[in-house]
Amino acid sequence: MNNETAKKPLLAVRDLTLDIATPNGTVRILEDVALEVHPGEIVGIVGESGSGKSMTALSVLRILPPTAKIVSGGIDFEGVDLATLSARRMRSIRGRRIAMVFQDHMTTLDPVITIGAQIVEAYRIHHPRSSRADAHARMVETLTQVGVLDAVERAKQYPHQWSGGMRQRAVIAMALINDPDLIIADEPTTALDVTIQAEILAVLRELRDRRDLSILLITHDMGVIADMADRIVVMKEGKIVETAEVHALFSSPQHPYTQKLLDAVPRPSAEVSEVAQPEAAEPAVLEVENLVVEYNRTWRRKGFHAVDDVSFSVPKGKVVGLVGESGSGKSTIGKAIVGLAPITSGHIRVGGVELKELRGSAARKASETYGMVFQDPASSLNPRMTIGECIGEPLVAHRQSMSRTARRERVVELLEQVELPAAWVTRFPHELSGGQRQRVGVARALALEPELLIADEPTSALDVSVQAAVLDVFQELQQRLGFSCLFISHDLAVVELLSESVVVLQRGQIVEQGDARSVLNAPQTEYARRLVDAAPLPDPARQRARHLTTITTA
């Protein structure tokens, strides 16, 4: 594919500059963005949120917000400038020659129309004279091509009846049905589990190989980009900072920002470390014993076991990672510990105290021993409370005797611990960035000096470089304060970075547990191995070598 670069590009974005009008004046969103996509090539755009990567994609199809305006530059598609094309001719290109795959599979499909009808619609917009039967046959064929089994029956279903991975296949089928030359995929796998992400990426890769399709792939995930792209464009604050061939970019990044981005990616270590000695009988801070959490149980019907007979413990001062895909029950375990999920049977002991048996003030007293950091820092802080009030609230609830000044001092101390300026106590959450908000979340969880911290995907909503900074603070605090932590995450690299041991869950049951390094580098069970293999490595050479081995072993 690479020797084709000499040929004329399929798509050429020429020095595109884009403004968006806001009530506070115009904001420059893109500045002199230039990139090319050749036939059969996968070009990746990487960058953090706000870098303009999605805006670049939307400008190619001209589905920009009405306040956006192309100031200068152009978009050449096979020699035609899309920026100045009439609305009518633009429509004949959208979905026909250039198709789009959006990120959020939950919302990109019309909820009240069957999947089949929506794919048929995509075909008939561009083939108005085609017969119904014809369009239907094509729809079934395309769905089958992207790996949907029993497409005839499944096409009669509505989007909510399909799983996330399946819906994303439907969106890809919708993009493919008119046999386009270019597909723009905007974070196509971000909302999916790793194993499903691997399947979707394989579908895209195969399509490129079979149909000589070009793909413009937008992502923030360095692993995905290493896995997929031939060439990579790095964007920052609306500008392109570096364009390079994939191997060159990963082995010798030229721009400092690219370097920073690559450094921020948590990397799974390559080698298996010697198995750590089993800890000398340290008392466990958290003991979970035969935990069962069952939902929807009725007197005549067995309920759904979200957590099914799970036992593990978190030793004092240690970090234990809890990993698994969505629906594996990892968050439910966290919720059960803090009393937000019903314990059907089994035991949870924090600091040797059985939580289930506590009532009233004793239960409140016990809740001082654990703190919780939630996934979404934007919605887990009360928007009407200042940072100081948010962090101080646990103190108000549990240390009624504490004086106002003592409380204020403690809040300031906590802010400093998470490396935020003490002056920020009077700020409101919306004035902070995502990473800063999550630091506030950590500070709040630590306010009562808990023995145990439960962190439920604390960094999965953050950009990589921000994630790296938050994880640094977290790691340092953990070592200094010595609290124990149950770290719930779907990101194996993050878990390996932070935790000594790891518990792998699948459908509510433990499939493997042990020392983090050995489990994640040499998994013993089939499921754990699949999970580890599915996570793309941020290293193009190693990641692509993996495909070869999976092909040869398959």
Q: Which residues bind other proteins (CB under 8 A)?
A: 61, 63, 91-96, 99-100, 102, 104, 107-114, 121-122, 125-126, 157-158, 160-161, 171, 174
Q: Quick count: other Cβ atoms within 10 Å of Cβ 143? A: 27
Write down the least CB distance from residue 456 to other proteins, Å.
26
> Token digits for 492?
């194996």
Write down the least CB distance from residue 223 to other proteins, Å.
25
Ramachandran region of residue 465, left (φ > 0), alpha (ψ -120 to 50) or beta? alpha
- Residue 454: CA count within 13 A, CB half-sphere: 23
Question: By C-beta, is 71 or 125 nearer to other proteins?
Answer: 125
Question: By C-beta, is 109 or 520 nearer to other proteins?
Answer: 109
Question: By C-beta, is 101 or 381 nearer to other proteins?
Answer: 101
Write down the least CB distance from residue 226 to other proteins, Å.
27
CA dihedral 289, 295, 298, 299 (to 10 degrees): 0
Question: By C-beta, is 105 or 335 nearer to other proteins?
Answer: 105
Write down the least CB distance from residue 534 to other proteins, Å.
26
Write down the least CB distance from residue 76 to other proteins, Å.
19
Question: By C-beta, is 87 or 423 nearer to other proteins?
Answer: 87
527 vs 512: CA distance, rounded Å: 9
Question: By C-beta, is 91 or 356 nearer to other proteins?
Answer: 91
Q: Quick count: other Cβ atoms within 10 Å of Cβ 221? A: 20
Q: What is the DSSP string of 125-165?
A: HH-TTS-HHHHHHHHHHHHHHTT-TTHHHHTTS-GGGS-HH
Cα distances (Å, whole numbers) of residue 296 to 163, 305, 314, 347, 481: 21, 9, 29, 20, 40
Write down the least CB distance from residue 141 to other proteins, Å.
18
Residue with tokens 């409101």: 428
Q: Are 233 and 44 in contact (CB under 8 A)?
A: yes
Write down the least CB distance from residue 80 to other proteins, Å.
15
CB burial of 172-197 (b: ≥16 within 10 Å; e: otherwise) equals bbbbbbbebbbbbbbbbbebbbbebb
Write down the least CB distance from residue 121 to other proteins, Å.
7
- Which residues have a Cβ under 8 Å from the Cβ of 277 and sit 6 or more positions away? none
Q: Are 265 and 466 in contact (CB under 8 A)?
A: no
Write down the least CB distance from residue 93 to other proteins, Å.
7
Question: By C-beta, is 164 or 317 nearer to other proteins?
Answer: 164
Write down the least CB distance from residue 124 to other proteins, Å.
10
Q: Quick count: other Cβ atoms within 10 Å of Cβ 340? A: 11
- CA nearest to 1, candidates 32, 46, 41, 35: 41
Question: By C-beta, is 158 or 424 nearer to other proteins?
Answer: 158
**Residue 305 DSSP one-character state:** E
Question: By C-beta, is 5 or 108 nearer to other proteins?
Answer: 108
3-state SS of the chain: helix, strand, coil percent to 5? 40, 25, 35
Question: By C-beta, is 103 or 489 nearer to other proteins?
Answer: 103
